[in-house]
Amino acid sequence: MEIVGYGVLADEEPLLRNAFDKAFEGRHELRCLGLFLDRDTAPTALGHEVVLSSVNDNLDAEVLRALAEGGTRMIAQRSTGYNNIDLTAAEACGLSVARVSSYSPYSVAEFAWMLALAVNRRIVRAVHRTREFDFRLDGLLGRDLHGRTAGVMGTGKIGAAFARIAHGFGMRLLGWDISENPDCLALGMEYVPRERLLAEADLVSLHVPLSPDTHHLLDTKALALMKDDAILVNSSRGGLVETDALLETLRAGRLCGVGLDVYEEEAGVFFRDKSLEVMTDERLARLMTFSNVLITSHQAYFTEEAVGQIARTTVANIEDHLAGRASDNTLVTPPKA
């Protein structure tokens, strides 16, 4: 049979095809599409039992019904997050859904540190200057991170990898999570309430999943607790930070720097070329005007190791679906015949 993948990136496709070729040996074909799955594009999935989705596809109830009516029986999400999928509707439509529950934590942790270091040492501004042969150091003063406090919100695999790097810098570690990670405790991390972490940390990095409980985790009240010269990094999910509250904080001249790899309204913008269009998202455009804000387009995970692992796990999820079995990656159990 033919399996169709949506939102497949140019650098992702070879790794995805390689995983398919090794696992299926020609028994199933893969059709890769660059377009994203939504109400307008759902008809293109007609006749495909398995659909590979990406984090910026819109799989609401209407789209899922259209897919089910067209013969789709499985959604294989190529990411850890799945807040873009209406799981209740998927179950009602008789669809099985699986995700990639984990991949290289180092890809995201290392990228989060890249954002932190870049905003701290004004790297983007420095590069723009030197390209114009302006070699002044005015406005490029950074700070040593050694001896300062790193606040890690979410201490799973990615948060722990971030904490290990912070420990290597010689930073004091504060953590916040629903449970304590022994690996982080071994680094000397102290678990504290969210309010204390925000008040004491010189660097706050977010590594928690997006859920109703964590939506706008950093709102006006939470951001007000942070030091005026703190650095904020979000490489997890855009909805963790209330954008309007962040804009007000920045307009007030607070925060030394902000590094964002995600944005709460990124769907329909990230992973697309908008360079020839008018940017109609005023909040995103406003964020771009701050010289101490660095925004990248959800690329923290984008390494050969992580994408390769995502591809292999996606293939394994398809194999499980075809065999009628569930796994730890299963979000909606395959319906019984």
Write out the catalytic residue numbers.
237, 266, 298
Nearest to 44, CA basis, from 85, 99, 6, 92: 6
Measure the CA–CA gap between 136 and 131, rounded to whole angstroms. Answer: 12
Note whether 163 and 184 are within 8 A (CB). yes
Which tokens in the block code for residue 246? Answer: 């962040």
Which tokens in the block code for residue 238? Answer: 């855009």
Q: Write b or e for each residue in 183-215: b if 16 or more Cβ atoms lie within 10 A of its Cβ, otherwise e.
A: ebeebebebbeeeebbbbbbbbbbbbebeeebe
Measure the CA–CA gap between 63 and 83, rounded to whole angstroms. Answer: 15
3-state secondary structure of 41: coil
Measure the CA–CA gap between 232 and 259, rounded to whole angstroms. Answer: 6
Query: What CA–CA distances, in Å, run from 96 to 191, 222, 241, 280?
Result: 38, 38, 31, 36
Q: CB within 8 A of 145, min separation 6: which ones? A: 116, 120, 166, 169, 170, 171, 202, 203
Rg of the chain, C-alpha, whole Å: 21
Note whether 295 and 264 are within 8 A (CB). no
Measure the CA–CA gap between 120 and 27, rounded to whole angstroms. Answer: 51
- Bridge partners (DSSP) listed for residue 269: none
